[in-house]
A = this chain, B = another copy of it.
Amino acid sequence: MNDHRRYARAIELLRAAKLRPTRQRMALARLLFATGHRHVTAETLHDEALAAHVRVSLATVYNALHRFTAAGLLREVVVDGQRSCFDTNTTDHQHFFIEEEGQLQDIPAASVQITGLPAPPPGTSIRRVDVIVRVAKVSG
């Protein structure tokens, strides 16, 4: 799926999710979906919007990220206890997390196999299996 297609799909899904296509949401959707997969925090996206001369408040960025996530356009990735990270790649995949940089990097889902998972606790069902491979820089 190319970028233009993804952006078109985002607008489509906004409508399907009954989210009004406001100036702010369109601009954020474009930043998020028009140039390949992204991992953003509320603050990085807000900074990016301001740099692109899109006037939008931080509160609206938070609102949009959560609405987009609820609509299935984004996925939240938990990497550290301090900030939320949002991923435009909603397909099944895992992440490298570079500790020094706080940077995420996708691992194609297909390459990783998880076997031998026991049954979930009684009365529950598996929603998602999150794999974070924490890596650190090495000298050399």
- Interface residues, chain A, CB within 8 Å of chain B? 76, 78-84, 96, 98-99, 105, 107-108, 111-118, 120-121, 123-138, 140
Contacts and interface: CB of A to CB of B under 8 A. Distances in A.
Given A130-B131, A131-B131, A136 B117 contact: no
A75 to B, nearest CB: 12
A65 to B, nearest CB: 12
B125 A136 contact: yes
26 contacts: A78-B78, A78-B80, A78-B81, A78-B132, A81-B82, A96-B121, A96-B124, A98-B121, A105-B121, A112-B117, A113-B114, A113-B116, A114-B114, A114-B131, A120-B133, A120-B135, A121-B135, A123-B137, A124-B136, A125-B135, A126-B134, A129-B132, A130-B130, A130-B132, A130-B134, A131-B131
A73 to B, nearest CB: 19
Contacts of A126: 133-135
Closest 3 CB pairs of A and B: A124-B135, A81-B84, A130-B132
B131 A127 contact: no
